[in-house]
Amino acid sequence: MSDKPIAVFDSGLGGLSVVRHLRHRLPHEQLVYFGDTARVPYGSKSRQTVITFALEAARFLLQFEPKLIIAACNTASSLAMNELRQALPVPVIGVVEPGAATAVRLAGGGPIAVIGTEATVGSGSYLAAVRALAPEQEVIQRACPLLVALVEEGREPSDNIVRLVVQEYLTPLREQAIRVLILGCTHYPLLRQPIADCLGPEIEIVDSGRETSLAVEQYLRATHSLCPPGSAGTMRCYVSDNPERFKRVGSRFLEEDIEQVEFVEPERYISAGV
């Protein structure tokens, strides 16, 4: 048993969709979250910039002595996992491999589609993760760069602009008779309803955040690192910009109120990456 926290970072709000599943599945765990809201989105940044930002975010979280760190950002998981695992003294779990494994299982050999940021799609990380499990699997990728901005703006799933953008991105995928769609960005679960409405009920949707929470639970059980059952789960949130907005919009991701968010000055996390 271990009462050390699980640390989670993301480019902004999206990683809270992973935290939501963690709090449901592992209610006794202590969670520490860092949202790099000053530099969101990571998805349009260069590979080296994403690596630098991810290392800074992760090293900021080391001060809390976590038992593991979750890169709850598909872009960081796609571009920076090797660097994170080499540089950090604790295990690091990303969101790509768990989602890919579930998609392969559900697809039954049918086509799998992946939607994500430009950086995630351009990295080919989901393609590689799927092909590692099923070498002949057909994978169709589509960058959907506007979706993160719509979510970060706080637009509702019923918003007409959201639905129009979703239809623009996903109609070509529906026409290719895909079997499974991977939500390759942790912002996208907030748009699950318009995505499902566009694709139809016959297409399975994989939430990489949910699958990651399962992978974390399996790891903690295997290493006997779960918090004791009597522990009261807690969550602390830190952001690099606009904590009040994070509290307001973030509650949609978490599906509960966020009571306290601490602003982190640049020198506290930028220096952490050195």
The answer to whether 228 touches 203, Cβ cutoff 8 Å, is no
What is the bridge-based pairing of β-strands 139-143 and 180-184? unpaired
Tell me how far apart the alpha carbons of residues 225 and 216 are, in angstroms, rounded to a whole number.
10
From the candidates 73, 144, 198, 237, which is the catalytic residue?
A: 73
From the candidates 185, 198, 227, 237, which is the catalytic residue?
A: 185
Other CB atoms within a 10 A radius of the CB of residue 251 amount to: 15
The answer to whether 172 touches 145, Cβ cutoff 8 Å, is no
**SS3 call for 10:** strand
Q: What is the DSSP letter of 62?
A: G
Tell me how far apart the alpha carbons of residues 126 and 204 are, in angstroms, rounded to a whole number.
16
Tell me how far apart the alpha carbons of residues 24 and 17 are, in angstroms, rounded to a whole number.
11
Tell me how far apart the alpha carbons of residues 14 and 220 are, in angstroms, rounded to a whole number.
23
The answer to whether 205 touches 174, Cβ cutoff 8 Å, is no
Tokens of 210: 């949910």
73 assigned to active site: yes
Tell me how far apart the alpha carbons of residues 116 and 125 are, in angstroms, rounded to a whole number.
11
**SS3 call for 88:** coil
Q: What are phi and psi of 187, to 5 degrees?
A: -80, -30
Tokens 């993760």, residue?
Answer: 129
237 assigned to active site: no
Q: Write out the catalytic residue numbers.
A: 73, 185
